[in-house]
């Protein structure tokens, strides 16, 4: 399993789930109007009842996925300084060596 502290790319899952939740909210409001106008068939009325619950579930999943991703990346150190444990911030028996070979 890859080291989560060394993974610099944020996950796209919370944004995708949040977008789907927003789409479900828009569809929840737009479908009754479209059914009344005759643009969409009356069979879509069966879906309208489930859309609010679907939007809430997707929003909760988006929030949970975001929270889990933030909790997973608790190390604020750069991946270069990470030791065997994956985080260079922890106190270890060896002193931290500071050299001038960093930036040029």
For 67, what's the count of Cα atoms within 13 Å in the CB-facing half-sphere?
6
**The pLDDT of residue 3 is above 80:** no
User: Tens of pLDDT along 45-86?
Assistant: 888 888 889 999 999 999 999 888 888 655 555 555 555 555
Q: Rounded to whole angstroms, how far apart are CA atoms 41 and 22?
A: 23
Alpha-carbon distance of 43 to 77, in angstroms, equals: 55
Instruction: Give the model confidence (pLDDT) of 34-48 as tens digits.
Output: 888 888 887 888 888
3-state secondary structure 25-79: HHHHHHHHHHHHHCCCCHHHHHHHCCHHHHHHHHHHHHHHHHHHHHHHCCCCCCH
Predicted confidence at residue 43, as pLDDT, reads 81
0.85 exceeded by the pTM?
A: no
**Cα–Cα distance, 47 to 34 (Å, whole number):** 13
């Amino acid at each position: 399993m890859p080291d989560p502290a060394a993974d610099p790319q944020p996950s796209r899952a919370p944004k995708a789930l949040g977008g789907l939740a927003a789409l479900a909210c828009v569809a929840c409001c737009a479908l009754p109007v479209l059914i009344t106008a005759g643009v969409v068939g009356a069979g879509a009325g069966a879906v309208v009842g489930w859309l609010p619950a679907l939007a809430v579930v997707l929003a909760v999943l988006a929030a949970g996925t975001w929270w889990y991703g933030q909790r997973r990346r608790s190390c604020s150190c750069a991946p270069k300084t990470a030791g065997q444990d994956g985080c260079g911030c922890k106190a270890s028996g060896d002193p931290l060596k500071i050299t001038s070979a960093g930036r040029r």
